Amino acid sequence: MVGLGTLLNMAAIVVGSGIGVVVGGRLPQRTRDLITQALGLVTLVVAAINVLALSEAAWIADVGATAPLLIVLGSVVIGGVIGSLLRIEDRAEALGGWLQRRVSKEADSRGRVRFIEGFVDASLLFCIGPLAILGALSDGLGQGLDQLALKSVIDGFAAIAFAATLGWGVAFSALAVGVVQGIFTLLGVVVGSVLAASAIASITATGGVLLIGLSLRLLGLSRLPVADLLPALVIAPLLTLAVVAVRGG
């Protein structure tokens, strides 16, 4: 069944968040902060692995040896301009605030900030990365849900750690996962079979750069508006296809 992998992923996040909320209430604040920072370090490692897609042989063969880094740079800059103008980060936080008012009894400002931060940061973590993109594409192509099943396990444990610190906002990131992976699954159904390996590599490498930004947020080193950079994931394959067309011409 196409889409089952994403539904499984959403369920794992909700269940993991529930466990995290129960466990987190028993932990001191210092321990919760440490958990978030540990997630930041792991996210940084995952980001580094994704960025290695810059050396993907198929991508280099299609666009040249120096073009991949320039494509990622151009994608992040152009995507950041578009995202900033669209105020994606502000809108994501506003959505988190709206959800908090509807479902949470916490009226104090700290509880509200924790809910919004959990929703936004967890949504970014769970939606950016090769498993979210490639797994959804594979599901759409009818090649099975193995990758999304693996992602579900990883996200479930991450949700436990996140929710232990940031609460129920993490559970609602399952909605963002459903939308984003649903779009990529649909893309897999429609054009996945003709999507070039170089285009997928460009998405993976650009996603790695965005994950570096997210890791800096989790480590408390920066409040970079990573959500504003999300259009870069669309710009990257378009720039790749443009370069391929120019080289072919």
Question: What pLDDT, on the 0 to 100 scale, is given for residue 218?
Answer: 84
Q: How many residues does the chain have?
A: 249
Residue with tokens 């906002």: 169
- Burial state string for 45-78 with b = 16 or more CB within 10 A and e = fewer than 16: ebbeebbebbebeebbebbeeebbeebbebbbeb
Question: Per-residue pLDDT tens for 21-36?
Answer: 998 878 787 887 888 8
For 223, which DSSP code?
-
Distances (CA, A) of 232 to 18, 171, 195, 229, 249: 32, 26, 17, 6, 25
Instruction: Give the domain range for residue 116.
Output: 4-248
- Tell me how many degrees the CA angle 101-105-108 measures, rounded to the nearest 5: 80
How many structural domains is the chain composed of? 1
- Burial state string for 231-242 with b = 16 or more CB within 10 A and e = fewer than 16: bbbebbbebbbe
Question: What pLDDT, on the 0 to 100 scale, is given for residue 174?
Answer: 95
Question: Per-residue pLDDT tens for 176-231?
Answer: 999 989 988 888 788 765 667 888 889 889 988 998 998 898 888 888 898 899 99
Chain mean position to CA 185: 15
| Cα–Cα nearest to 74, from 231, 248, 194, 244 | 231
Instruction: Please tell me the distance from the alpha carbon of residue 158 to that of residue 39, in angstroms, as a whole number.
Output: 8
